[in-house]
């Protein structure tokens, strides 16, 4: 409420944009990457108005670090971080700074996944742990049989979100392991809330975090 009121003060949206632009520039300069979004080009391609598969908007590093710090995982080196809808891979690089075992990006649009691969290739930490990006529709992605942190920054519409989270649930039914789900800017949090295998753990101003229940608990909730 307070944040929304502040945003309405004249000049504040411009200041926020300046701050975001600087943050984006600083991230790419420090990492030697290109993770920015060309919104005009994306509009020409029709991505900006696609309500099924959302357009590319990189996460603000500040927001990414906030949610990673809020994640109650004490041993990230045991977990694979998966960014479903990873764009050019900015969040993958930030997750690796947070000491995850490795990171996998899933990206529908080939030109973005090619750039994510290049960004990972140019990063020492990503090369060391063989972080990778797959050019595949999230609905067809098979979750690896490992401890996972699954990250979703508002990548697609409700139907795709449901399919992806149902696929994750089936994967857990065949092989239970510890899995956390982060919904960043959670427009379709209702979908995660409705999954019997997920329990809500914590939330902040712009994220919600869930954890997979044990198979016994999930069966009771179903
Ligand atoms: C809001 S951006 C998030 C970018 C990235 N996660 C980050 O935090 O910087 C959403 C991304 O999801 C991708 N996307 C949309 N629909 C998808 C789908 N069905 N399968 C895989 N990726 C998808 C888009 O191309 C876009 O790159």
Write the CA distances from 31 to 7, 27, 34, 58, 207, integer angstroms: 30, 6, 9, 15, 25
Task: Give the domain extent around 141.
Answer: 61-221
122 within some domain: yes
Span 170-186, average pLDDT? 96
Shortest-distance atom of ligand 1 to CA 185:
1
> How confident is residue 1, by pLDDT bands cut at 50, 70 and 90?
low
CATH number at residue 192: 3.40.50.150
168 within some domain: yes
88 C-beta closer than 6 A to ligand 1:
no
59 C-beta closer than 6 A to ligand 1:
yes
**Cross-strand bridge partners of residue 106:** 84, 134
117 within some domain: yes
Span 85-91, average pLDDT? 98
180 within some domain: yes
Out of 50, 89, 98, 108, give the residue to mutate to test ligand 1, the one with the largest number of ligand atoms within 8 Å of its CB. 108
Whether 3 shows a pLDDT value over 80: the answer reads no
Number of domains in the chain: 1
Find the helix or strand (DSSP H, E) in which 117 lies.
helix 110-121
pTM here? Answer: 0.94
């Amino acid at each position: 409420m307070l944040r929304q009121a502040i945003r309405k003060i004249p000049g504040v949206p411009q200041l926020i944009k300046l701050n975001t632009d600087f943050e984006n520039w600083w991230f790419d300069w420090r990492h030697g990457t290109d993770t920015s979004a060309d919104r005009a080009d994306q509009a020409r391609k029709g991505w900006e108005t696609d309500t099924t598969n959302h357009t590319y908007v990189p996460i603000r590093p500040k927001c990414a670090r906030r949610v990673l710090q809020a994640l109650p995982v004490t041993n990230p080196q045991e977990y694979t971080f998966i960014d479903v809808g990873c764009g050019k891979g900015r969040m993958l690089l930030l997750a690796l700074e947070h000491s995850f075992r490795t990171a996998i990006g899933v990206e529908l649009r080939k030109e973005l996944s090619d750039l994510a691969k290049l960004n990972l290739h140019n990063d020492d930490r990503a090369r060391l742990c063989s972080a990778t990006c797959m050019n595949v529709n999230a609905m067809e992605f098979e979750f690896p049989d490992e401890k996972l942190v699954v990250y979703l920054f508002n990548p697609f519409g409700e139907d795709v979100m449901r399919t992806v989270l149902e696929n994750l649930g089936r994967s857990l039914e065949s092989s239970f392991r510890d899995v956390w789900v982060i919904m960043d800017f959670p427009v379709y949090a209702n979908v995660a809330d409705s999954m019997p295998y997920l329990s809500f753990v914590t939330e902040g101003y712009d994220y919600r975090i869930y954890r997979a229940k044990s198979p016994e608990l999930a069966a009771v909730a179903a």
